Structure 1
Amino acid sequence: MTVNALKRQPLYAQVKQLLQQRIGAGEWQTHDALPSEWELADELGASQGTVRKALSELVDAGLLYRQQGRGTYVAPVPGDWGDDARLVTPGLFTEQPDELAREFLGLSRLNASEDVAEALQLRRLAPLLRIRQLWRRHGSPVALDDVLLPAEVFEGMDARWLRGSAGLYGTLQQRFGVRMKIVSEQFRAEMLPREEASLLGVTGMVADVPALCLLRLSADMDGRPLEWRQRYCLTHQLAYTVKHG
């Protein structure tokens, strides 16, 4: 964004963007308290009301949270499964999900297909980064992700960052100051393609059982679509469960 474009924004929007960038750069970590509204107002040369409006929008977006009488804090980075999705035994709604181990498989480049370009609001054949990662439960593969990101937005992405991180969303926030939020998800049953079946270790009779295919579109806090994700989940023994409330 140019300086002139920034100046055309309302002051509260400029404060919001600055705080967003500082959080993304790691100035304040998860559950750290931000300075008070008065301190931020004095530091940024803005009124307390302007700072309060900026903070309120960041709270509404999920980047911050408030504790009554105590202050405003940095919210945890959402995991790659979102805050509410999990794999559990079918029918056992109260079962505590087993933690899934993430295995980074690779980072490559490709060009956007027509449907992906449309979803990400890019030109057709725009350059994309492709991130592939495998999820294991008790050592056995249970899900496979293919994530597509606009290459121009995330130029300089390093495979070492992804290999050493707990998840993609944490890397995007830490390295690029981008906080992701899930916009929409679609689910359908689908037979696994050969390569995906091999990575998931699907053989024998299980190979004839459809997998759950999830398509996800995620955006940054300003609503700009930045992630297209396809996830295959093996659900012949597990249920993809979304917890509400």
Structure 2
Amino acid sequence: MNAKSLLRLPLYEQIKLQILQRIANSEWASNELLPSEWELAEQFAVSQGTVRKALTDLVNDGVLFRQQGRGTFVAEALDDWAGMSMVSPGLLNEKPDRLAREFLGISRAHASEELAAVLGLRRGASVHRIRMLWRQQGQAVAIDEVTLPLERFDTLDARWLRQSAGVWAVLQQHFGVRLRVAAEQWRAVALSREEAQLLQAREGDAALFYLRVAKDMQGQAVEWRERWCLTGSLGLTRQQQD
């Protein structure tokens, strides 16, 4: 967003964007206490009420959190699972095992009509296509196919994806973009031959297909993600947010 566009926004929205940028630039780390509302108001040369409204919006967006009597803190950024976990049946009260990510590759493709409409692209626009495999205790349990607009992330490097915790971590660290889930849906599907081979399953086996669209903090759709999850001995759960 350029300076002219920024100035057209309401003042509290301008402050939100500046706070987000400072977080993206690592000025404040996860779980770090922000300066007081009065201090921020002085830094930004605005009223305390404007700062409070900006902070409240960021709390509602999950970027910040408040602790009574202590202040406002930077929340941990969500990972590629956005609060969801793979768990074994009967263990819902136990902490799920951490999934290991295996980066499979990145390629360029052209946006379909549906994808272009969702991400606000022209039909056939160039996009990044990223594939990853997720393992639980060594067992392949899910495949991700992530689509991002190439024009916005034209410098995206495979090395970053290979070395990071996931796509969302790369976007925040290298582009200052923090995502949140905007829409999601699930349905039962039969695995294709390619998906079955990657998951070490049989073609036609049942799987849970998950489709998700994520937006940046300014409300622009940025990510289209398709995920195939094995369901034979595992299930999905979404962590409760504090």
TM class, shorter-length: over 0.9
Q: Is the 8 A contact 1:135 1:143 kept in 2?
A: yes
- Deviation of 1:91 after TM superposition, in Å, equals 4.3
Identity rate, percent: 53
Aligned with 1:241: secondary structure? strand
Q: Which amino acid aligns with 1:129?
A: H
User: 1:124 — aligned with what?
Assistant: 123
Task: Please tell me whether residue 222 in structure 1 is matched to residue 221 in structure 2.
Answer: no
- Gaps of at least 5 residues in structure 1 are none
CA distance, structure 2, for counterparts of residue 3 and residue 82 of structure 1: 31
Aligned residue pairs total: 241
Aligned to 1:86: 85
Question: How far, CA to CA, are the matches of 1:244 and 1:166 in structure 2?
Answer: 21
User: How large is the Cα RMSD of the aligned pairs?
Assistant: 1.6
The alpha-carbon deviation at position 96 of structure 1 amounts to: 3.0
1:37 aligned residue: 37
Residue in 1 that maps onto 2:61: 61
Does the CA contact (< 8 Å) of 2:192 and 2:204 recur in 1? no
Deviation at 1:145? 0.2
Residue 12 of structure 2 contacts residue 53 of structure 2 at CA under 8 Å; is this kept in 1? yes
Give 2:233's aligned residue: 237
Segments of structure 2 that go 5 or more residues without pairing to the other structure are none
- The whole-number CA distance in structure 2 between the counterparts of 1:35 and 1:180 is 24
Q: Deviations over 1:196-237 (max 9, x none)?
A: 22221224xxx3421111111111112211111000111111
| Residue identity in the other structure for 2:23 | I
- In the other structure, the counterpart of 2:187 is 188
* 1:137 aligned partner: 136
Letter paired with 2:173: Q
1:211 and 2:207 matched: yes
Give the Cα separation in 1 of the matches to 2:239 and 2:75: 19
